[in-house]
Amino acid sequence: MRAVLFMTILMAGSGLAEELPGQPFASYWFPNELLSWSPSTDEDAPYNRSGIELSTRTYGDTQCNIHATTDQGGVGVLSIMNPSTSNNSSQGGTGIDVYAFNYWQYVDHLTFWGGSSGEGLILAPNPGVIDAGHRNGVPVYGTIFLPPVAYGGQIQWVWDLVQKSGSAFPVADKLIEMTEYYGFDGWFINQETAGGNAQLAQDVRDFMLYIQDNSDLDIQWYDSMVESGGISWQNALNANNDWFFQHGGNLVSDWMFLNFWWSAAGLQNSANLATSLGRSPYELYAGIDVQSNGYNTGADWNALFPEGGDHVTSVGFYCPNWTYSNASSHQAFYTRANRFWSGANRDPSNTDTTHPWKGLACYFAARTPITSFPFVTNFNTGQGYHYSIDGEILSELHWHNRSQQDVLPTWRWITESSGTPLYPEMDWDHSYYGGNCLKVSGDLNSSNETMLYLYKVDAEIASTDTLLLAWFSESAGQASGMQVAMSLSSAPDNYYYEDVDAAVQIGWNLFKLDMGSFAGSTMAVAAINFTSSSPISDYAAYIGRLGIVRGSVDIPDGVTSLYVDEFNQVNDTLGTIRLQWDHSASEIYTYNVYRENSDDSRTFLWATPNNACFVPEVTRPLAETETTILVEAVSPEFGFSSTASTTITWETTGIGHGQSTGSFFLNEPSSNPVVGNTAITFSLPFTGEATLSVYDLSGRVVQVLSEGEMVQGSQTVQWSTEFLPAGLYIYRLECSDGFISRKCMVL
Which pLDDT score, from 0 to 100, does residue 661 have? 41
Query: In angstroms, rounded to a whole number, what is the distance separating the alpha carbons of residues 571 and 657?
Result: 9
Q: 665-746, what's its fold?
A: Immunoglobulin-like (2.60.40)
Q: Is the separation of the CB atoms in 344 and 352 below 8 Å? A: no
Query: In angstroms, rounded to a whole number, what is the distance separating the alpha carbons of residues 258 and 267?
Result: 9
Q: Is the separation of the CB atoms in 467 and 476 below 8 Å? A: no
Closest CA to 189 of 240, 229, 157, 145: 145
What is the side-by-side order of every strand in the sheet holding 626-634?
A: 602-608, 590-596, 626-634, 644-649
Q: Are strands 437-444 and 482-488 parallel, antiparallel or unpaired?
A: unpaired
Give me the CATH code for the 2-12+27-54+81-292 domain, please.
Answer: 3.20.20.80
What residue spans in the chain does CATH classification 2.60.40.10 cover? 560-649
Q: Is the separation of the CB atoms in 581 and 561 below 8 Å? A: yes
What residue spans in the chain does CATH classification 3.20.20.80 cover? 2-12+27-54+81-292
- What is the DSSP annotation of 534-551? S-EEEEEEEEEEEEEEES
Mean pLDDT value across residues 231-241: 98
What residue spans in the chain does CATH classification 2.60.120.260 cover? 375-550
Which stretch of 6-20, 231-245, 385-399, 723-737 has the lowest confidence by average pLDDT? 6-20
β-bridge mates for residue 631, sequence order: 593, 644
Closest CA to 590 of 605, 609, 606: 609
CB atoms within 10 A of CB 670: 14
Q: Does the global pTM surpass 0.85?
A: yes
Range 136-163 burial, b when 16+ CB lie within 10 A, else e: bbbbbbbbbbbbbeebebbbebbbbbbb
Closest CA to 629 of 688, 683, 700, 579: 579
Query: In angstroms, rounded to a whole number, what is the distance separating the alpha carbons of residues 301 and 317?
Result: 13
Name the more confident of 473 and 85: 473
Which pLDDT score, from 0 to 100, does residue 269 have? 98
Query: In angstroms, rounded to a whole number, what is the distance separating the alpha carbons of residues 154 and 195?
Result: 9
Query: In angstroms, rounded to a whole number, what is the distance separating the alpha carbons of residues 590 and 587?
Result: 9
pLDDT (tens digit, 9 = 90+) per residue, 501-559? 999 999 999 999 999 999 999 999 999 999 999 999 999 999 999 999 999 999 999 99
Q: Indicate the Cα dihedral angle 455, 457, 461, 464, nearest 10°.
A: -40
Q: Is the separation of the CB atoms in 468 and 543 below 8 Å? A: no
Examine the pLDDT at 216 and tell me if it is beyond 80: yes
Give the gyration radius of the chain's Cα atoms.
27
Which pLDDT score, from 0 to 100, does residue 17 have? 41
Q: 375-550, what's its fold?
A: Jelly Rolls (2.60.120)
Q: Is the separation of the CB atoms in 638 and 544 below 8 Å? A: no
From the number of C-beta atoms within 10 Å of its C-beta (0-12, 13-18, 19+), residue 340 rates as buried
pLDDT (tens digit, 9 = 90+) per residue, 177-205? 999 999 999 999 999 999 999 999 999 99
Q: What is the mean pLDDT of the chain?
A: 93
CA distances from 264 to 236, 242, 276 (A): 10, 19, 19
pLDDT (tens digit, 9 = 90+) per residue, 261-299? 999 999 999 999 999 999 999 999 999 999 999 999 999
Which residues, in sequence order, are CB contacts of 259 under 8 Å at separation 6+? 1, 222, 223, 224, 233, 234, 235, 287
β-bridge mates for residue 395, sequence order: 387
Q: Is the separation of the CB atoms in 252 and 205 below 8 Å? A: yes
Q: 560-649, what's its fold?
A: Immunoglobulin-like (2.60.40)
Query: In angstroms, rounded to a whole number, what is the distance separating the alpha carbons of residues 30 and 160?
Result: 9
